[in-house]
Amino acid sequence: MGLWDLGLLGCQLVLYFSVLATLFGLRHRYGIGIFFCALGAMHFLETYLAATFYVAVPFGIVVSPGSTILFPGKIILLLLVYIREDAIAVRQPIYGLFAGNVLTIGLVAILGANTLLPGADQSPDFPFLDQMGLLMIWGTVLLLIDGILIILIYEQVGRWLGPHMTLRIAISGVAVLAFDQLAFWPVLHAVAGIPVEILYGGLIAKSIAAVAYAVLAGIYLRHFERRMFDGLAHPRLADVFDALTYRERYETLLERSGRDGLTGIADRSRMEAEAEQCTARIIASGDIASVLVIDIDNFKQLNDDSGHLVGDAALRGLAELLTRDLREVDRIYRFGGDEFVVITSGRAREDASNLARRLHRLAGKLDIPNLNAPLTVSIGAAHSPEDGNDFLALLSRADKRLYAAKGSGRDRVITGDDRHGEGHPELVRPT
C-alpha cells in the first residue's frame, strides 16, 4: 500500500500545482485575486489534514498530505509570485490568511456561547475548532517568516548560481521547509499529540516535495506562462465579469467626458452632442422648449479686480445655483468662459420667463468670498414655437436677447414676452 499512497501523493502534488499555476498565469486576464482566493481556500484543508490525516509511504515514512503536499506547494507558489510580481504581492495572501484565522477564532468563541437546540443529532466540536484555530494562527505566523526567508535565500543563492532558476527554487524551498517543519511540529505535538516520527518523516517528505515543485515551477516559467499571456494586448470579453467591468468603465468614461472641469456641469461639447435632440423631443411631445443664456456681467473686470481664483469661485457658485434650483429634467451647460445655457421643458412660456427672473434674482444674492463688488448676471430667453422650432433657432434668439440686455446696461433679463418688444427690455434687479 505504501507505493499506492506514494503515487496518490504524487497525483495530488501535480494537480495542486497545475491548477494554481494556471490561475496565477491567467492573472493578467482575470486579476491575481482569483489565484489568491484559491490558494487561501486550501489553508483550512492543509491545517486539518496536518492534524488528522497521515499515510505510510515506502521506507517506513509516515506523512500527511496537508504538510507534505499542500503547504510546500503554497510556499513555492508564493516564491513564484515574488519572481513574477514583487514582494508586496507576496504579503497580501499572508496578511489575509492571518486576519481570517483571527476572525475564525473570534467567531468560534461567540458561537460557543450559543444555546444549542435540544435533541440535535450533531453538535459542533468546539475543542477541535479551537485546536484548529491555534494551529492556523501559528501556521500563518510561520508562513510570514517562511515567505521572507525563502525570498532572501532565493536571492542569496542567485548570487552563486546565477540564472539556474529551478535549482535556486529547489535549494531555497528545501531550506525553508526544513525550518518550518522544525518550528511547526512542537505546536502540532502539543495540540494534536503528533509523535516525533512525523517530524523526521516530514523533513524528508517536504524536501522531496520542494524539489518536485521546483521542477514543475521551472517547467512552468520556461514553457507555459509566456504562452498564457499571448494575445492579451487586446483581451476579449472572456466572461460576464469582463463584460460588466467593460460596461462600468465605459459608462464612467461617458459620464466623465463632456464635463466641465471647473464647474462639474456639462460642457459645450456635450451641448453640441445632445441639445438638438433634447429640444426636438420636447417639441415633438407637444411641450414648450425654453432656452436661457446666462452671462456674468463684466467678468473680465471681475477677474482683473478680484483675481482669477475669485472668478473661478463665481463660476462654480453660479453653476451650483443652477444645479440646485433647476429640475433633473432640465439641462445645464457651460457654453463659454462665463456663459451658461439652460434648456427647460414642461413649463408655460410665462413660467419659463419667471424662472429666468428667479435665477437672476438668486444669482445677485450669491455670496462669493473676496468678491469686491456684487455679482450680477444678464439673461436672454427664447421659447418655442414663437421663437423657433429647433435648438439652434432658440439659442440664436436667446443669445440676441442676452446681448440686448447687456447693451441696455446689464443686470437685466429679456424674455421676449414683454409687451414693449425686445427693443425695450424689462429691467429686473435683485431684491
3-state SS, one letter per residue, for the chain: CHHHHHHHHHHHHHHHHHHHHHHHHCHHHHCCHHHHHHHHHHHHHHHHHHHHCCEEEHHHEEECHHHHHHHHHHHHHHHHHHHHCCHHHHHHHHHHHHHHHHHHHHHHHHHCCCCCCCCCCCCCCHHHHHHHHHHHHHHHHHHHHHHHHHHHHHHHHHHHHCCCHHHHHHHHHHHHHHHHHHHHHHHHHHHHCCCHHHHHHHHHHHHHHHHHHHHHHHHHHHHHHHHHHCCCCCCCCCCHHHHHHHHHHHHHHHHHCCECCCCCCECHHHHHHHHHHHHHHHHHCCCCEEEEEEEECCHHHHHHHHCHHHHHHHHHHHHHHHHHHCCCCCEEEECCCCEEEEEEECCCHHHHHHHHHHHHHHHCCCCCCCCCCCCCEEEEEEECCCCCCCHHHHHHHHHHHHHHHHHCCCCCEECCCCCCCCCCCCCCCCC
- Across the strands, what pairs with 332? 342
Q: Is residue 93 pLDDT above 60, yes or no? A: yes
Which of 217, 241, 265 terminates a domain? The answer is: 241
Average pLDDT over residues 212-227: 85
Residue 287 in domain: yes
Q: Cell numbers of 313, please?
A: 469661485
For the ranges 28-32, 95-99, 102-106, 376-380, the one whose mean pLDDT is highest: 376-380
One domain for residues 204 and 284? no
Q: What is the CATH number of the domain that holds 280?
A: 3.30.70.270
Looking at per-residue pLDDT, the higher value among 293 and 127 belongs to: 293
Answer yes or no: are the C-beta atoms of 76 and 217 closer than 8 Å. Answer: yes
Residue range of the domain that includes 161: 2-113+125-241
Verify that 93 and 9 share a domain, yes or no.
yes
Please indicate, yes or no, whether residues 189 and 271 belong to a single structural domain of this protein.
no
The verdict on 222 and 280 lying in the same domain is: no
Domain boundary among 241, 276, 303: 241
Do the bridges between strand 331-334 and strand 289-296 make them parallel or antiparallel, or are there none, so unpaired?
unpaired
371 located within any domain: yes
> Do 263 and 232 sit in the same domain of this protein?
no
- The CA-to-CA distance between both ends of the chain, in Å, stands at 99
Q: Pick the range with the lowest mean pLDDT from 57-61, 108-112, 237-241, 245-249.
A: 237-241
52 confidence band (pLDDT: 50, 70, 90): confident
The pLDDT of residue 243: 52
Q: What is the mean pLDDT of residues 271-280?
A: 92
If asked whether residues 233 and 307 sit together in one domain, one would say: no
Sort 285 into a burial class: Cβ within 10 Å, 0-12 / 13-18 / 19+. Answer: exposed
Res 264: pLDDT: 87
> Among all chains, which residue has been given the C-alpha cell 463659454?
336
Are residues 346 and 209 part of one domain? no
pLDDT bin (cut points 50, 70, 90) of residue 214 is: very high
Q: Are residues 183 and 226 in the same domain?
A: yes
148-157 burial, b if ≥16 CB within 10 A, otherwise e? ebbbebbeeb
Whether residue 229 lies inside any domain: the answer is: yes
285-310 average pLDDT score: 92
127 compared with 418, residue with greater pLDDT? 127
Of 384 and 226, more confident:
384
β 413-414/377-383 pair status: parallel
Q: Name the domain boundary from 207, 241, 275.
A: 241
Whether the Cβ atoms of residue 216 and residue 223 lie closer than 8 Å to each other:
no
Contacts 24+ apart (CB under 8 A), 154-161: 154/79, 154/82, 154/83
**Number of folded domains that form the chain:** 2
pLDDT in the model for residue 209: 93
Q: 370: Cβ–Cβ under 8 A, 6 or more apart, which residues?
A: 306, 307, 310, 313
Distance between CA atoms of 16 and 69, rounded to whole angstroms? 8
The reply to whether 195 and 73 lie within a common domain is yes
In a domain, 90, yes or no: yes
Q: Which residues sit opposite 259 in a β-bridge?
A: 266
* Statement: residue 430 has pLDDT above 50: no
In a domain, 247, yes or no: no
In a domain, 424, yes or no: no
Closest CA to 415 of 407, 427, 16: 427
If asked whether residues 291 and 337 sit together in one domain, one would say yes
Return mean pLDDT, the chain. 83
pLDDT of residue 376: 94
Answer whether residue 175 is part of any domain: yes
21 plus 106 within the same structural domain: yes
When pLDDT is cut at 50, 70 and 90, the band that residue 101 belongs to is confident
- The C-alpha cell at 292 is 436661457
Q: Cβ of 198: how many Cβ atoms within 10 Å?
A: 22
Question: What is residue 249's predicted lDDT score, i.e. its pLDDT?
Answer: 59
Q: Are residues 223 and 300 in the same domain?
A: no
pLDDT bracket for residue 391 (50, 70, 90): very high
Mean pLDDT on 104-121: 72
Let me know if residue 274 belongs to a domain: yes
